[in-house]
Amino acid sequence: MNLIELIGRFHPVLVHLPIGIFVLVIVMDGLTKFEKFSYLSASIRLILGLGIVSAILSLVTGYTLSLEGSNNQDLVDTHQWTAIGTTSLFTAYYLLRQKLMAKQLAHSITLIFLLGMLAWTGHQGGSLTHGEGFLTEGMLEAKATTEQPLDIKDINQAVVYKDLVQYTLNQKCVQCHGAEKQKGKLRLDELSWIKAGGKNGNLINVNNPAEGELIKRILLDDIDEHHMPPKEKTQLTDAELAIFQWWINSGASFDKSVAALAPDAKVIKALASFKEENQKQVTSNKKIRASIEPLDKKRKEKLEKMGWVVSTIALDDYHIRLTGYNLEGTVKDAVDAAAEISDHIVELKLSFSALKDNDLSNLSKFKNIEKIWLDHTDISDISLKQVSALKDLEYLNIVSTNTTANGLRSMMQLPNLKMIYAQGTKITAEERDALKASQSNTKLYFGDSMKSAITDTLFTKKAE
């Protein structure tokens, strides 16, 4: 990393400083209209000056970051000029503030306009970081899935790259590597860009498939910062991974059909699984739950005072997601308090908490829980016995816990459980294979790299 790149990497750190300062200035300036807050006026000019200096530093680091070329240049240019304009407006306000304060209406309109410009600039920066439509990503995801179902009548006639590989890339990768955003200077939405590769080199190495960036990244453990897709995004299924490996191992043809690449029995199984997973016409991802009244305000405040983050699942669904990263007091007290509103709770997050086995003695009261995170805690199979009472459970995360294969077997009997993340547990490699081979509808993810693939042979090297 050269000096210019290093300077650019400070932009995400610095940019929040002027935003916070400018918001503070607007709030303080608005309060000075009331006599009892008039004393704030003496500090505003100094604070605003500091905000302008930090904004200029943010502009400099932002410009150097843009030289990496990781984002759509049109979006970068728009964000850049909006940021310059917003900084210029706050600078003008710094110089003209005294005159504006003499005209109350003009002063109020100016503050509202500055706040709007600041919000718009911040939104554009967020779009660059997280992708366009980030705010509405959850709402639009169902629509995207509905509008782009897999349409393959005969899997043997499907073109492997276009119908399987590119389809998967579109579903899981182009949000960060598409027309609007190119992390690592990489685009995956069109054939020409895939052939071009990215900042770290060629995506595909047919002579030594294991060294191609595409395979290397998707095989990394999901806790590795270079793993793709990032762990917070939807991961490739075993079938998708097997198809990618088979395609590359077969020479990465961009025009050959499935039949032309002669899949073996295990690849045929992966292809059937891929078709089944993707070809269903999804009309809506919205889960239908029994209606429930909004949570009582006093109960919510009680939980928040204990450190729980309380949020509703959707605008029209008053079921609750509870997150306990910063709990005050004991975890047991917090869980017992949450049990008082157990009918509302469908998601419970206790990741990285001080959770121990005896803290979940009341978990059976949470009859409606669909997802639960217990990862990076000191729980063992004793806690899984409590979890096994949650008949509506669909998702379980027990990464980096003291759980064993015996505990996991009891969980796999739950009728609705679809996914368990269990890497970093006490389960041995042999036990993992046995669990995966068992007759269960629950998918297990252990963070394996090559062992998680459906195919036996992942890579071959062409004879010289």
Q: Where are the domains of the chain?
A: 3-130, 142-278, 297-452
Contacts from 170-177 at CB under 8 Å and sequence distance 24+? 171/234, 171/278, 172/229, 172/233, 172/234, 172/235, 172/236, 173/228, 173/229, 175/131, 175/233, 176/131, 176/229
| 349 pLDDT above the threshold of 90 | yes
- Measure the CA–CA gap between 126 and 114, rounded to whole angstroms: 18
| 242 pLDDT above the threshold of 80 | yes
Percent of the chain with pLDDT over 90: 42
Q: Which is more confident, 5 or 71?
A: 5
- Measure the CA–CA gap between 91 and 51, rounded to whole angstroms: 9
| 280 pLDDT above the threshold of 60 | no
Q: Which is more confident, 205 or 300?
A: 300
Strand partners, 443: 419
Please report, for residues 22, 182, 319, 320, the alpha-carbon distance to residue 315 in angstroms, rounded to integers and kept in the order given. 30, 32, 10, 11
- Measure the CA–CA gap between 215 and 459, rounded to whole angstroms: 10
pLDDT at position 95 = 93
pLDDT at position 84 = 94
pLDDT at position 463 = 42
Instruction: Provide mean pLDDT across the span 102-121.
Output: 91
Band (pLDDT 50/70/90 cuts) for residue 140 is: very low
| 456 pLDDT above the threshold of 50 | no
- According to DSSP, residue 293 is labeled P
- Measure the CA–CA gap between 237 and 164, rounded to whole angstroms: 13
| Residue 88 parent element (H or E) | helix 73-101
- According to DSSP, residue 445 is labeled E
| 166 pLDDT above the threshold of 80 | yes
Instruction: Provide mean pLDDT across the span 203-225.
Output: 80
pLDDT at position 441 = 82
| Residue 436 parent element (H or E) | helix 429-437
pLDDT in tens, 350-377: 998 999 999 999 999 999 999 999 999 9
Band (pLDDT 50/70/90 cuts) for residue 452 is: very low
pLDDT in tens, 188-212: 888 888 888 877 777 888 788 778 8
Instruction: Provide mean pLDDT across the span 78-83.
Output: 90
pLDDT at position 408 = 92
Phi-psi region of 358 (alpha: psi -120 to 50; beta: other; left: phi over 0): alpha
- Measure the CA–CA gap between 304 and 313, rounded to whole angstroms: 17
- Are 399 and 424 in contact by the 8 Å Cβ rule? The answer is yes
| 435 pLDDT above the threshold of 60 | yes
**Superfamily name with CATH number, domain 297-452:** Ribonuclease Inhibitor (3.80.10.10)
